[in-house]
Amino acid sequence: MLESLPNSENSPRLRFDVVNVDHIRELRIFGQRREDFSDFQGSLRENGEELLLACELTSSNAQGVRKHLPWLNPKPLGLNLSAGVGDRLGLATSGHARAFRKYGKEVLPVFAQQSIREMVRLERTPQAVMDDATFGLVEASWVDAVGSDADHLKTSEDIDACLSAGFTLFTLDPGAYVFQVPEDFDGKLSHLPWSALEDSETAMIARYEGISFDVAGKSISMDSDEIRRAAFKYGAAVAYTVSQYRHLMQRASYPVEVEVAIDETDDVTTFGEHIFMATEMKRLGMSWVSFAPRYVDGFEKGLEFKGDIDLLASNLEGHASIAKLFGPYKLSLHSGSDKFGIYSMAHDVTGGLLHLKTSGTSYLEALGVSAVYAPALFREIYDVSRTAYEQARSSYQVSADFNKAPRSQDLSDDDLGELLMRSDTRQILHVGYGAALSIEGSVGEFRLRNALKLCLIENKPYYDQAMELHIGRHLALLGSSS
């Protein structure tokens, strides 16, 4: 239970809790005077020598909670080692908080984190993401600082919606403006928006020629062809990122910070390309706290790192060197869940200038609860995800083989949990959330989503423990030295 801190002798001292009442989560507020509850809407009754206000988990009540418990308002986390733990269902935060409290004391938490892509697929608003995290933190009696991440934003409208909800980290994704260099590249850069770049082709080439950069002890320079290739690929992305950054800074009425993410692009980001983007964004007045390049291959959803760890270490070392040279800023590991073999190495190579993002792994843990306590529901979610895989996979780095995914009717209830352990079926479940959680019932509600949430509420201690252990495993390795 959380207690507010009064600002004066006359201000109210309230106590807050979130509890399960007949399979419905409820905000309970305890106080002494009727007027103390003016920021909330609910049903007031006597509770011994004090008053109890029972409230629904509405956005207005979440706003009241953040007013009385101000540390639950997200803050920028700066260059501190940090981790984001996305939550597709709005019920994982209490378990996430337990994980940070027990295993991640060196890691600053980002609880409200979701990409615009996931919000759209789940018809979930930025405000709902923020409010669900708030109530989960009340449930966990959280008393420390928190961050928040509006992830993979692609438009100014996305930025505005997330500003309205109070997000503090804005991950700008210019992936749609990253262009693949053709094999017959002739060096022409006619497609670049030179006015928006406040630049000219001649000035750009001159800015790099004859200059070398120390990247992890190695000298890197770019000749005219390499400069043109980097500009062809990332020039428009720089212009778009800067325009979105300026929009954010003009609209923000509270402290915010920025991440730039180009991880969901087709080709690995070279050190020269990273230098190009950092140079141009800095020249145009941008500052950012973290950067997510496309690292060497091996990052897939929901699985251990599948590539060469020594090659990844070298890749991270180079990008970290560039981040220190042009920042400092953190490297951000997207698709970062379940890659237990790389966390300690990544911490050491970056000197702790690191941010980890996880999301779908918390959803998989939720499915693990349903496999035990609601096997029929799990079967249906698996069947929908299996059918939707070929279309859903286009947005993600996955390699699941559909032919290795058995039909649910061929498995006993006791065998269902194994589907979360096999790499192919784990990825199918991971990326199939959009299809499974968007199926509507007879009266328009999201049938499978609501059934899964009810299962989690009914078995909340089990889900919280699962989240604590699974996310805790990530945090313990992320905050330690190898």
State the pLDDT confidence band at 216, using cuts at 50, 70 and 90. Answer: very high
Q: HSE (CB half, 13 Å, CA atoms) of 326?
A: 28
DSSP 8-state class, residue 232: H
Strands 218-221, 212-215: pairing is antiparallel
Do 139 and 98 meet the contact criterion of CB atoms below 8 Å apart? no
Per-residue pLDDT, averaged over 100-128, amounts to: 96
Residue tagged active-site, from 36, 259, 264, 273? 259
Residue 87 pLDDT? 96
Residue tagged active-site, from 87, 151, 257, 380? 151
Q: Does 149 have pLDDT greater than 60?
A: yes
CB neighbour list of residue 458: distance below 8 Å, 6 or more residues apart:
20, 23, 373
- pTM for this entry: 0.96
Dihedral (CA of 443, 445, 451, 457) sign:
negative
DSSP 8-state class, residue 265: S
Secondary structure (3-state) at 276: helix
Residue 397 pLDDT? 85
Is position 415 annotated as part of the catalytic site?
A: no
Per-residue pLDDT, averaged over 198-209, amounts to: 96
Q: How many CB atoms neighbour CB 208 within 10 A?
A: 21
Q: How do the domains of the chain map onto residue ranges?
A: 2-68, 76-180+209-361, 365-470
pLDDT digits (tens, 9 = 90+) for 233-290: 999 999 999 999 999 999 999 999 999 999 999 899 999 999 999 999 999 999 999 9
Do 29 and 16 meet the contact criterion of CB atoms below 8 Å apart? yes
Q: Does 8 have pLDDT greater than 70?
A: no
Residue 12 pLDDT? 79
76-180+209-361, superfamily in CATH? Answer: Aldolase class I (3.20.20.70)
State the pLDDT confidence band at 395, using cuts at 50, 70 and 90. Answer: confident
pLDDT digits (tens, 9 = 90+) for 339-367: 999 999 999 999 999 999 998 999 999 99
User: How far apart, in Å, do the first and last CA atoms of the chain sit?
Assistant: 37
Is position 259 annotated as part of the catalytic site?
A: yes
Helices 375-392 and 360-373: crossing angle in degrees, nearest 10, is: 150
Q: Does 441 have pLDDT greater than 90?
A: no
With a pLDDT cut of 70, the percent of the chain lying above it is 98
Residue 133 pLDDT? 98
State the pLDDT confidence band at 57, using cuts at 50, 70 and 90. Answer: very high
C-alpha distance from residue 165 to each of 46, 108, 168, 350 (Å): 34, 21, 9, 32
Q: HSE (CB half, 13 Å, CA atoms) of 392?
A: 23
Per-residue pLDDT, averaged over 222-229, amounts to: 95
Q: Does 442 have pLDDT greater than 70?
A: no
Residue 394 pLDDT? 84
DSSP 8-state class, residue 21: E
State the average pLDDT for the chain.
95
Per-residue pLDDT, averaged over 201-213, amounts to: 95
